Structure 1
């Protein structure tokens, strides 16, 4: 009996000593609370052993919507997809003829869906087009806002009902003009003066693209990302606001990866938005523009009837992420969605992503790309990918490990989004900040996680309870064999 008591006392003393460990600085511990963390960057990663972060490319699901109305046409673009409760709404510029940016012929249209997969164009009577008293136009006679009108659903607590939707749009001649709407269909200016002016931006050319804004629950403020030119290259600036009217001095976004500075390339649209399952993480599915990188011959361009001068460049979609501040993480410099097979996919300003990723199934989310630009077959295309599945930590058959930096969490359970082969598995060890396994949470205690699930609760000797560790600094050691880890989250 005395021996049992001695062992129990010794274990209890060791367990208590673990949390008397003193870190060199408070900043050494990352507080994740109950946030879902995606494996898209190295923010939480301290060490990888025979494990690598891989980019997971979406699957082509075909044409989602054809831009085939007389007021839509070849130069439709700058699309935004918003999920408002049970309704999906798509906004896009209608422009059948080539013209100067911000010309009077540009309009903004909408389409609607109940699932984000099948889309219809509503018959509205807000603006009349000759011969078409009913159409799907929600904004006209509002140049230059209709060049790049970009709406958002304002999730700020206490926002007035009449401002539930907000939008910005405009060119360098006008500045960025703010608009509001109660229903996403009827729009009016928030004020006559632009909210972000050219005098605020220390660059020679700006706003010549889709510029966007959103309410950030992570930063508790509005955030705006807009296009500028810096050193002859299309770059991105960031500004913030408490009221959507008064904006901070813009900062030029920089790019980084684990090796330091990432390559600076032309990014035509940035499409930065809070990821809906982890809003502290901003996902940017940007249009990478390669000016002068011509693929098609004159004969090939003529065969697909692309508008003259719109086949001299190429574009694709890349993935970046940000957690606020002045940096994008370009963990994966390669293409996220590559141009498809056939000449139509290799023209200027095609493959531009729509703003926002939305959930379109229990385990699926969708990304939309504007394709066949400047062609009679102009359309929006849908791509699908698993929830949280932009990237993953992938271990080979031989196995490998991912060790996190010291972190604190809140909650009583750990769940993972993962997939294994039939022979593969993931096991999780919880350590103290020095790397010592905690009693009851060692690798030997960990139950193998085998399968393919969006949310699997991790167990140790059939127990999932980690509440005793909540709020205390720990490390997570993931042992990954022939498997992918997409995300993890603590909670109850």
Structure 2
């Protein structure tokens, strides 16, 4: 069995729903007594089924949380030649974007400083000669004059073209040996040349290592690693005004580990992927040791609806583990922001790793992948399958979904492990908000979906259109049949209502 599923095959969705539903807002419609309370969803945004707060009713499905798989060509950015930038360390305390037809990466090169690379496919990278920073007596390198760490926020909607790229800039606290603290922000038109908003020393020194600026729910948020009574913890500083000094922003502790798992702490804060309807967070699961060279770190997965209240889809859910003994990334992993990107049928995860513990030497940058939006899937629960004779069936009902365009939208399924020959299939029934089947979209009308794919249309008597829906507020009841348990049953990862773009971030 692969790493992706090996620890989580006994999950029961009802237990998991507690994690997500506890964070949910109250629903906007009257909820039938047989359904769990769940917030109304919007058909403009995907339903990622790793978020079990989406599930209002469960009849025998369970969740498996998936782990990313390393690309065989790793590391994708390797150490430079002796004496060149990045000859001892290439650290993805940085960012990746797809802009104007190119993948663009910012990372830290040691020696040298912050650096920039480009790619046509997100896998094979070149280091352009930018001619911006002098190193070794010349400017023939890919270094950028960027203050602070290499994590940037691309904000193409900003009306000021000089502020289309943004980032935080820390300052060393002289009273704590230069420990990184909140200080100011910087702006750029192209992500290469930056203008730092100058400020005096902070009125209050806030420990804030590995600062990343994000836009979540209409607020500016700086996620950092702070030091609390729980050891290393994830801090969030938030404000409506990006020009306000960051040390004056509202501070919250938003995620800790040592209070839940005494042997672990968080590392380098949460790095968010703020998607509409669900923010996906990746953070370091820090295994503290007496010596830095013995310290190890995996990458954990958390979810949020607002960027402040986070939960695990499964206790200590791990998105990427250290590599095998002797591998280049066998001891310590570091996450950047943004580090996720959907590229056709895959979700890309960029990271850096090393094999010298938390020392920082020999760090290089790698790529891991998931099935697109494949952070977790629902399948027939193993316990349910014990008491049900073949053919085994299970189903679940979603939260109410507001359909924004009945004429243009469809129900598209991200599904796997289907087979017409082996009678493994999915059927989709459409219900009203109270759970009653809608005419023309009932189970008797639903065609069997027997084909794997990222966006396979559900159909009713051969038609995929939603134009005949009598209401724009619906629920999905998704039926799964076939297989003995989750590894052998149909798997459903996500539901879309329009074709997902080829590249999405």
Query: TM-score, normalised on structure 2?
Result: 0.76
CA displacement at 1:483 relative to structure 2: 1.4
Aligned residues: 425
Contact 1:149 1:169 in 2 (8 A): no
Q: Does 1:356 align with 2:338?
A: yes
State how 1:160-199 maps to structure 2 within 5 Å. Answer: 160-171=160-171, 173=173, 175-193=182-200, 197=202, 199=204
Contact 2:165 2:188 in 1 (8 A): yes
- Aligned with 2:231 (options 230, 233, 258): 233
- Write the distance in 1 (CA, Å) between the matches of 2:343 and 2:470: 32
State how 1:138-287 maps to structure 2 within 5 Å. Answer: 138-139=144-145, 142=147, 145=148, 148-155=149-156, 157-171=157-171, 173=173, 175-193=182-200, 197=202, 199=204, 206-208=207-209, 210-216=210-216, 219-246=217-244, 248-254=249-255, 263=261, 265-274=264-273, 278-287=275-284
Contact 1:239 1:249 in 2 (8 A): yes
Corresponding position of 1:383: 368
- Write the distance in 1 (CA, Å) between the matches of 2:297 and 2:39: 40
CA displacement at 1:152 relative to structure 2: 1.3
Q: Does 1:323 align with 2:309?
A: no
Q: 1:200 to 1:458 in 2, by over 3 A?
A: farther
Q: 1:187 to 1:33 in 2, by over 3 A?
A: same
Corresponding position of 2:124: 118
- SS of 2:204 mapped into structure 1: helix
Corresponding position of 1:334: 317
**Which of the two has higher C-alpha Rg?**
1
Q: Does 1:371 align with 2:385?
A: no
- Write the distance in 2 (CA, Å) between the matches of 1:189 and 1:367: 29
- Write the distance in 1 (CA, Å) between the matches of 2:361 and 2:343: 31
Contact 1:274 1:280 in 2 (8 A): no
- Write the distance in 2 (CA, Å) between the matches of 1:491 and 1:447: 19
Q: Does 1:80 align with 2:95?
A: yes
CA displacement at 1:176 relative to structure 2: 3.4
Contact 1:272 1:355 in 2 (8 A): yes
- Write the distance in 1 (CA, Å) between the matches of 2:320 and 2:48: 19
Contact 2:115 2:143 in 1 (8 A): yes
Query: TM-score, normalised on structure 1?
Result: 0.78
- Aligned with 2:110 (options 80, 83, 95): 95
- Deviation track 1:435-479 (CA, whole Å, cap 9, x = no partner) reads 332222221211111112111221111122323447644321111
Contact 1:418 1:485 in 2 (8 A): yes
Q: 1:491 to 1:312 in 2, by over 3 A?
A: closer
CA displacement at 1:402 relative to structure 2: 1.7
CA displacement at 1:377 relative to structure 2: 4.3
Corresponding position of 1:404: 398
- Write the distance in 2 (CA, Å) between the matches of 1:322 and 1:448: 33
- Deviation track 1:3-32 (CA, whole Å, cap 9, x = no partner) reads xxxxxxxxxxxxxxxxxx95589x865142
- Deviation track 1:401-428 (CA, whole Å, cap 9, x = no partner) reads 1222334332322222112332321111
- Write the distance in 2 (CA, Å) between the matches of 1:45 and 1:345: 40
- Write the distance in 2 (CA, Å) between the matches of 1:45 and 1:426: 17
- SS of 1:311 mapped into structure 2: helix
CA displacement at 1:171 relative to structure 2: 4.3
Contact 1:169 1:178 in 2 (8 A): yes
Corresponding position of 1:45: 55
Corresponding position of 1:56: 66
Q: Report the RMSD for the aligned CA atoms in angstroms.
A: 3.0
- Deviation track 1:85-107 (CA, whole Å, cap 9, x = no partner) reads 312222122234xxxxxxxxx72
Q: 1:215 to 1:447 in 2, by over 3 A?
A: same
- SS of 2:396 mapped into structure 1: strand
Q: List runs of 5+ in structure 1 lacking aligned partners.
A: 1-20, 97-105, 294-308
- Deviation track 1:134-192 (CA, whole Å, cap 9, x = no partner) reads 1111036x5xx2xx34211014x343111111111314525232111111111120333
